[in-house]
Chain A
Amino acid sequence: MTDIPLLSLAVWLPIAGGLLVLASGDGRNVAFSKLIALVTAIFGFLVTIPLYTGFDTASAGMQFVELMPWVRDYNINYHLGVDGISMPFVILNSFITVLVVMAGWTVIEYKPSQYFAAFLIMSGLLNGIFSALDGILFYVFFEASLIPLYLVIGVWGGKNRVYAAFKFFLYTLLGSLLMLVALLYLFHKSGSFAILDWHREPLAMTAQSLIFWAFFASFAVKVPMWPVHTWLPDAHVEAPTGGSAVLAAIGLKLGAYGFLRFSLPIVPDAAQHFAPVVIGLSLIAVIYIGLVALAQTDMKKLVAYSSISHMGFVTLGFFIFNPLGIEGALVQMISHGFVSAAMFLCIGVLYDRMHTRNIADYGGVVNTMPKFAALFLLFAMANAGLPATSGFIGEFMVVLGAIQFNFWTGFAAATTLILGAAYTLWMYKRVVFGDVANSHVAELSDINAREMLILGVLAVCTLAMGIWPQPVTEIMHATVNQLLDHVAAGKL
């Protein structure tokens, strides 16, 4: 334990840097603004590393806790802390931010400082979500993080960006407003906004059910679960590459994280009671959305649907209430953070050169971009869940857990290994293999050093986690076991 407020730094350093970048303006010193952005992002990542090295894996409690009163009249505290569930996401988020800043380096021409500032501020807010231990503090970060992404989609997005930005914002706001009422009700019952106090607060079944659905409205939209997923393909397709990468890598994890931090421990009995509903919706997401992904003609849309399908796996893992399921789901979340970010960045590489995302416009890319094709293949395989990539570990653990829970649930979930391979590899085949399809593809140049660096780092992460997942899973054990004991004990 150190005396440096690491979590506060992880939250406020990127935000301060973002404001600085914003203040530096879009005048002549664009290079300077970009440099500040990159330096801030890197420092933002560096301050999160001690969170891992100094983490006590034996403890299930909150670590690196910071607590000070914020709004005394309402007993709202500035209360930060991480446990084995949230800590990996703080690091993941700060890491992805560095890559996203690098990915936008030369591509963004319109108001680049505003673009980088939006990402840095968003990164700080997302870290805030993962480390907040006070209900209102969580909510504040949760909602505030909508603003930068709304602007990123709307300002730097594609043709239909206005529609996508509004849909994204209003859908997520609807859910979170209902959650706000639930938070206020919990405050009214317990006299505290501390999430850990709520974990202990006894609640009757009716209250638990209502709170469960209020939380569900918020988190299911954010995950997103079928049938409230429709905002995601729109948002992904219209967002610029960096926006898609952050949204997929981190944005989608917020809802899943919310289930673990709020729904399961605060209303354990309602969570168990309604688990069949969630499991059903998750399986629909895994199978039906997997089939939908197969039919896509737009690469980004395909990856977006594949994300929904993968996130169905995550919610499935949570609601079967066994250690394999929850740990598998968490591993899946981290792995998906790397893989989906990499997939979107790969598509971004192609889009920057060809200005189209249509699968039909490509073909034979391997002939002109061999290095890119190799890396893209690795990520496609990881997306399909090939062993020795990170995608396999999580899916395998969740399938095992699901089979323990119920054979047919496990069986249905396992179909994703086939569907995932089908839609990803088929897309890969159509885009990369074959003869050079047209003159545009023939003129393609292979990835440059900057792109190589971004994708290479992600490739290393994907492989490392696939071969040796122990460092990631060991930090989760204690927390996950404690959570499961808590859920099993119930509150009635």
Chain B
Amino acid sequence: MNFPLPDFFPASAEIFVLVMACVVLLADLFKSERQGWLPYVLTLATLAGAFAIQVGTAGPDTTLTFSGMFVDDRLADVLKSCLYITVFAVVVYSRDYLMARGLERGEYYLLVLFATLGMQVMISANHFLTLYLGLELLSLAIYALVALDRESARSTEAAMKYFVLGALASGLLLYGMSMIYGATGTLEISAIARKLSDPATNMEVLRFGLVFLVAGLAFKIGVVPFHMWIPDVYHGAPTAITLLIGSAPKLAGFAMAIRLLVDGLPTLAVEWQQMLMLLAILSIALGNVVAIAQTNVKRMLAYSTISHMGFMLLGLVSGVIELRASGDIHLSYAFGSAMFYTIAYVLMSSAAFGTLLVLTRAGVEAETLDDLKGLNRRSPWFAAVLMMVMFSMAGIPFFIGFFAKLAVLQAVVAAGYIYTAVFAVLLSLIGAFFYLRVVKLMYFDEPLDNSPLVASTEMRALLSVNALAIALIGLMPQSLLALCASALGQALK
């Protein structure tokens, strides 16, 4: 037997996060009474360090390592950098909330770091097993996080529901992977793509496997009809955990879709494009319509997530068509639009849940729409932050959400699906209603509760930066759009 030592360099950020997770665990065990801040600061340092390593080691080339199981390309660099920033923001936003509820313990930081590691592995996976490993690492950490508040029956129920449905989804995914393995004889994603053009490959088995693969994927990113867990988990989990679930994993989910479908099964595009189109249309319709009926902000945002993920899928669907029709320049734009949409959504959703966290006080959850009433009187700035997020989610310029929608719709129209575009914009009109309702509650109504908002300085500062990013990238979207396009262009070459 011959075990060559793999090249660890492309995975240095992952290794760093893993080591630091263990350090956080030990620090939590041995810290003194007065050092309660230690895990918090260490976690933030880990994320900042990982960001620095990622940016520092980013190169123009695609590197494969661990026998082709792990890939480090520009797509991975961009998505992981966004991931660290997002998780950093999540940790800062969550601290006050968790402290007020006695949940701010070492486990939280440890689990967040393991979830981050899982997402890093997913983003860089070039092999079905690596992908599955990353996905499970993420999922198991999140199951535990949802149940972090042991006293709360609702959280426990949400965790159970999430666990059972998540396990089912993982099963579907694994089953699909095994089928594809049966048809192609390999689990390596780039090798599968090569095998597709081989006439000896059994296409029936491959398509059969693809159905399960798409179902598993749809479960994980939460699109109709595999969305049932989203509202319950968003609602049941403590708001700080909802913030985590609702933001960073979308980046990993996007990477998973790109790696599995676009990288792995490009010539089966006609098949999975049809499936995704259906999922996208159903999600946009159901998400926007059902959100109107919600009185709980977290549930409303859960349905809004569903519709946003549907919109993101539209970008993926359009990209493939271009690949088949003409050259490849529009290909990367279409996929780039989906990526831009994902990043935009993560920015908006972290700001939205972050503002909800500002509104909660010790013992009192701010989660019904009534809690938002009159926010403009209590704090004009946070009202403005949430207003920007809402208009951005509704796709009104000058906010980032507008350009995200524009980029996706442009891809959809370029692919020739004019009526899909019309359908999508008409449903975003319905969606605009419930976003506007939030603005109405904050600005037009009297507050029910006049207590001042309490939030730590770093949270206020970061949330403000987050909101300004939504507005400024909305004014100047060019660099981020170009970054997404080039990242995908390089990854899909």
Contacts of B426 in A (CB 8 A): 174, 177
> Considering only CB atoms, which chain A residue lies closest to B410 in the complex?
A184
Task: Pick from A25, A150, A170: contact of B429, CB below 8 A.
Answer: A170
Contacts of A143 in B (CB 8 A): 396-397, 402
Is B407's CB within 8 Å of the partner chain A? yes
Is A173's CB within 8 Å of the partner chain B? yes
Q: Give B139-177 as 1s and 0s: 1 = Cβ < 8 Å from A's Cβ atoms.
A: 000000000000000000000000000000000000000
Task: Pick from A71, A141, A155: contact of B443, CB below 8 A.
Answer: A155
- A162 adjacent to B440 (CB under 8 Å): yes
**Bound form: Cα–Cα A169–B439 in Å:** 12
Total count of chain A residues near the partner, CB < 8 A: 38
> Considering only CB atoms, which chain B residue lies closest to A180 in the complex?
B425
- B433 adjacent to A166 (CB under 8 Å): yes
Kindly provide the distance from the CB of B344 to the nearest chain A CB, expressed in whole angstroms: 14
Total count of chain B residues near the partner, CB < 8 A: 35
Q: Give A146-174 as 1s and 0s: 1 = Cβ < 8 Å from B's Cβ atoms.
A: 11001100110000011001100110011
**Bound form: Cα–Cα A71–B422 in Å:** 23
Is A188's CB within 8 Å of the partner chain B? yes
Is B292's CB within 8 Å of the partner chain A? no
- B421 adjacent to A154 (CB under 8 Å): no
**Bound form: Cα–Cα A173–B398 in Å:** 15
Contacts of B409 in A (CB 8 A): 180-181, 184
Is A478's CB within 8 Å of the partner chain B? no
Task: Pick from B333, B440, B478: contact of A166, CB below 8 A.
Answer: B440
Kindly provide the distance from the CB of B338 to the nearest chain A CB, expressed in whole angstroms: 14
Is B444's CB within 8 Å of the partner chain A? yes
**Bound form: Cα–Cα A170–B429 in Å:** 7
- B413 adjacent to A181 (CB under 8 Å): yes
Is B355's CB within 8 Å of the partner chain A? no
Is B482's CB within 8 Å of the partner chain A? yes
Q: Give the dominant DSSP class at B's interface.
A: helix
Given known contacts A71-B478, A72-B482, A161 and B391 CB-to-CB distance under 8 angstroms: no
**Bound form: Cα–Cα A178–B336 in Å:** 24
- B380 adjacent to A114 (CB under 8 Å): yes
**Bound form: Cα–Cα A81–B482 in Å:** 27
**Bound form: Cα–Cα A456–B406 in Å:** 46
- A73 adjacent to B443 (CB under 8 Å): no
- B436 adjacent to A188 (CB under 8 Å): no
Contacts of A144 in B (CB 8 A): 396-398
**Bound form: Cα–Cα A403–B398 in Å:** 45
In the complex, which residues 343-388 of chain B have their Cβ closer than 8 Å to any Cβ of chain A?
376, 380
Q: Give A177-201 as 1s and 0s: 1 = Cβ < 8 Å from B's Cβ atoms.
A: 1101100110110000000000000
- A147 adjacent to B396 (CB under 8 Å): yes
In the complex, which residues 258-298 of chain B have their Cβ closer than 8 Å to any Cβ of chain A?
none
> Considering only CB atoms, which chain A residue lies closest to B403 in the complex?
A71
**Bound form: Cα–Cα A166–B432 in Å:** 10
Contacts of A70 in B (CB 8 A): 478
- A170 adjacent to B432 (CB under 8 Å): yes
**Bound form: Cα–Cα A383–B429 in Å:** 36
Contacts of B436 in A (CB 8 A): 150, 166, 169-170
- B433 adjacent to A146 (CB under 8 Å): no
Q: A144-B397, A162-B444, A185-B413 are in contact. List 11 more A-B contacts (CB 8 A).
A: A72-B482, A73-B336, A73-B485, A111-B376, A143-B402, A150-B439, A154-B439, A169-B436, A170-B432, A173-B432, A188-B413
Closest 6 CB pairs of A and B: A140-B397, A177-B425, A184-B413, A154-B444, A144-B397, A73-B481
30 A-B pairs (CB sep. < 8 Å): A26-B380, A69-B478, A70-B478, A71-B477, A72-B482, A73-B485, A74-B406, A74-B410, A74-B481, A114-B376, A114-B380, A140-B397, A143-B396, A144-B396, A146-B396, A151-B439, A154-B440, A162-B440, A165-B444, A166-B436, A169-B436, A170-B429, A170-B432, A173-B429, A174-B429, A177-B425, A177-B428, A180-B425, A181-B409, A184-B409
